[in-house]
Structure 1
Amino acid sequence: MSQKVRAVIARGKNQPVTVETISVPDPGPGEAVVKVQACGVCHTDLHYREGGISDDFPFLLGHEAAGVVEAVGEGVDEVAPGDFVILNWRAVCGQCRACRRGRPWYCFDTHNAARKMTLEDGTELTAALGIGAFAEKTLVHAGQCTKVDPSVSPAVAGLLGCGVMAGLGAALNTGGVARGDSVAVIGCGGVGGAAVMGADLAGAARIVAVDIDERKLETARKLGATHTVDSRATDPVEAIRELTGGFGADVVIDAVGRPETYRQAFYARDLAGTVVLVGVPTPEMKLELPLLDVFGRGGALKSSWYGDCLPSRDFPMLVDLHLQGRLDLDAFVTETIGLDQVEEAFGKMHHGDVLRSVVVL
């Protein structure tokens, strides 16, 4: 029997979101119903509302979430009712060519729930990133549930479900930052701030944070940046080179995802250095670089999908590091809000007033 719960819905492009009653069906084979305890407000949710992801309205927004498994469907044995979990949007299949090559973090056929949540009139909802967690309860594939230590705060744990994991993973997994490396991070919002923290956790000797907002630069210092650059007043490429002995950084992470910032990242890296693109560009953006420079500078140009994370491996480890006091995930929670404050939180995020607003249910 389906359950009636409150949830945040985007009914049309650029329309303010509304809190409405939706129906959550019982879990089918391989599925789970999760009682959501907290869900971060991510830029991706705003992209959905603006029609930047697709036009499959209405959307059930929210995806950076943690909660407790309430019920599971047939054949589910990885989680059970009562388990505290972080939701993820890359539930690996185990069968695609990436998984079979031992690279499940690239899984090309990730799972989502087969059944649909609906509005009261029966209209099917498109769940953001296959999760839809700005809701009191949500239906997901069981593989989207990663069990972690229940002593962690749900408001903190949920952020590992997307933005914070993307930034940490861009440094730790995709960029392969090693002890003693020099790292530059362009764009120091939630994802870029997490990349700074990841570089610090990896033991980078020099971490240069670049942004146009002094508030974000100050936060980056608290998260581990050794130097900051206000790119409104200073050429970031020249500044990064000057701070790295004239050579450029070993790893440069673009957490903005624009042609201008990618070009800065490309030229701010050392010879044979690595560029990591983790900021998400829009479909119309184009990049032009001299092919000779691409060849002559060597190194690696990488895109970071979800921080190239494997949730079953990375989420429990990062939660444990947080509980040990070695990873200050609380620093990303700017405020906690209710479901009816999501539209207001979008405005704050757009103006750079918060790292993360977190809906607590």
Structure 2
Amino acid sequence: MGTATDAVTVRGVVSLEKGAPVTLTEIVVPAPGPGEARVKVQACGVCHTDLHYREGAINNDYPFLLGHEAAGTVEAVGDGVTSLVPGDYVVIAWRAPCGNCRSCLRGRPWYCFDSRNATQPMRLAADGRKLSPALGIGAFAEATLVAAGQCVKVDPAARPEAAGLIGCGVMAGFGAAVNTGAVTRGETVAVFGCGGVGDAAIAGAALAGARKIIAVDVDQRKLIWACRFGATHTIDARDLDPVETIRTLTDGNGADLVIEAVGHPETYRQAFFARDLAGRLVLVGVPDPSMTLELPMIEVFSRGGSLKSSWYGDCLPSRDFPVLIDLYRAGRLDLDGFVTETVGLGDVEEAFTRMRQGGVLRSVVRL
């Protein structure tokens, strides 16, 4: 891989233009500068957000270096980095609190408004074009450059295929239930959308002691998966009205906490009406920027409770990642259950196809 003072040329998966199949090509990863770390990637999950980048749904800063749910080992660090040494086993976070923005200074670093990323660009080896790394990470590559604060040290006994998933989807869902939704013992919870994020929310609710966890989806495979992570009841929304069924399952009241992990106006509306009075609704599904929402304002007022959005599960990676890994190592959080298949760097485009078809929770690139 080279030394701390060398740039390295490695293979990476790049989206060159909107909607086009991804390309496996050579990229140049600089030597770490001040406050930066170069990470040798061992595994990286294939997330819907990567597909959103490929499709131009995030922004148009092509070419993109895709991949962001990653675990690996620190290969080199730049000047001023004291929290890491080469060889450290880390999960990469896409939030690295700056410590200085108004949110950090208010004691809420999980909302950091100026999250740190590497300042040096990675580039295409062929023509030197600057790459935009997905979520400031770019880990569909044999190595990537990030801010040192994005590297969270975890138990090296956790296999990278599973550990990397807490870097995005698992943390987002788990945190939506535990951090944003503040689920407590004995509560009822409903989760709309049982992909990776929704199932992680189910797992978080189960660990927090929710007594009834209702999974809602239109795919029977996903409902079966949801039971593995702790769902006590399932609703196939193709056959049943989810709002009425949730009320029936909760003594006519609605759920204490409803998590919308789809990001669609119709499922959000259903989730809104599936709450009990003074219940909480958490949106963690990412909507298309063109989507709009209409609700009767009197219902927003009269039902009370709270409507929240969950950013990255409102997590503090340095606090939460090691905890989730410890839960995994203790057999209490089934990270292995999220890994449907492992693939190679050259298989990302095919993994996107399987993702669209709904046949996987997560494909994971193993390097």
Aligned-partner SS, 2:18 = coil
Question: Hey, what does 1:58 align to over in structure 2?
Answer: 63
* Runs of 4+ deviating beyond 2 Å: none
Question: Hey, what does 1:136 align to over in structure 2?
Answer: 142
State the one-letter code of the partner of 2:49: T
Deviation at 1:319, TM superposition (A): 0.4
Question: Hey, what does 2:231 align to over in structure 1?
Answer: 225
Deviation at 1:91, TM superposition (A): 0.4
Deviation at 1:314, TM superposition (A): 0.2
Q: Residue by residue, what CA displacement relative to the aligned partner does 1:167-194 show, whole Å, maximum 9, x if unpaired?
A: 0000000000000000000000010011
Q: How does 1:59-98 map to 2 (within 5 A)?
A: 59-98=64-103
Question: Hey, what does 2:16 align to over in structure 1?
Answer: 11
Deviation at 1:79, TM superposition (A): 1.2
Q: Residue by residue, what CA displacement relative to the aligned partner does 1:7-42 show, whole Å, maximum 9, x if unpaired?
A: 000000110001000000000000000000000000
Pick from 272, 279, 292 the counterpart of residue 273 of structure 1: 279
Question: Hey, what does 2:3 align to over in structure 1?
Answer: none
Deviation at 1:288, TM superposition (A): 0.7
State the one-letter code of the partner of 2:63: P
2: CA distance, partners of 1:261 / 1:34: 39
State the one-letter code of the partner of 2:79: E
1: CA distance, partners of 2:163 / 2:315: 15
Deviation at 1:78, TM superposition (A): 1.2
Pick from 180, 185, 196 the counterpart of residue 190 of structure 1: 196
Aligned-partner SS, 1:67 = strand
Aligned residues: 361
Question: Hey, what does 1:114 align to over in structure 2?
Answer: 119
Deviation at 1:84, TM superposition (A): 0.2
2: CA distance, partners of 1:34 / 1:305: 25
Question: Hey, what does 1:168 align to over in structure 2?
Answer: 174
State the one-letter code of the partner of 2:37: A
Aligned-partner SS, 2:280 = strand
Deviation at 1:70, TM superposition (A): 0.5
Q: How does 1:345-360 map to 2 (within 5 A)?
A: 345-360=351-366
State the one-letter code of the partner of 1:89: W
2: CA distance, partners of 1:2 / 1:322: 35
Question: Hey, what does 2:249 align to over in structure 1?
Answer: 243
State the one-letter code of the partner of 1:278: V
Is 2:185 aligned against 1:179? yes
2: CA distance, partners of 1:207 / 1:267: 17
CA-based RMSD of the aligned residues comes to 0.5
Pick from 202, 213, 218 the counterpart of residue 212 of structure 1: 218
Question: Hey, what does 1:304 align to over in structure 2?
Answer: 310
Deviation at 1:230, TM superposition (A): 0.3
Deviation at 1:290, TM superposition (A): 1.0
Question: Hey, what does 1:332 align to over in structure 2?
Answer: 338
Aligned-partner SS, 1:171 = helix
State the one-letter code of the partner of 2:102: R
State the one-letter code of the partner of 2:68: H
Question: Hey, what does 1:253 align to over in structure 2?
Answer: 259
TM-score scaled by length of structure 1? 1.00
1: CA distance, partners of 2:290 / 2:131: 27
Pick from 42, 45, 55 the counterpart of residue 47 of structure 2: 42
Deviation at 1:81, TM superposition (A): 0.7
2: CA distance, partners of 1:31 / 1:318: 25
Deviation at 1:222, TM superposition (A): 1.2
Aligned-partner SS, 2:50 = helix
TM-score scaled by length of structure 2? 0.98
Deviation at 1:229, TM superposition (A): 0.2
Question: Hey, what does 1:104 align to over in structure 2?
Answer: 109
Q: Residue by residue, what CA displacement relative to the aligned partner does 1:302-326 show, whole Å, maximum 9, x if unpaired?
A: 0000000000000001101110111
Q: Residue by residue, what CA displacement relative to the aligned partner does 1:142-175 show, whole Å, maximum 9, x if unpaired?
A: 0110000101000100000000110000000000
* Runs of 5+ unmatched residues, structure 1: none
* Runs of 5+ unmatched residues, structure 2: 1-5
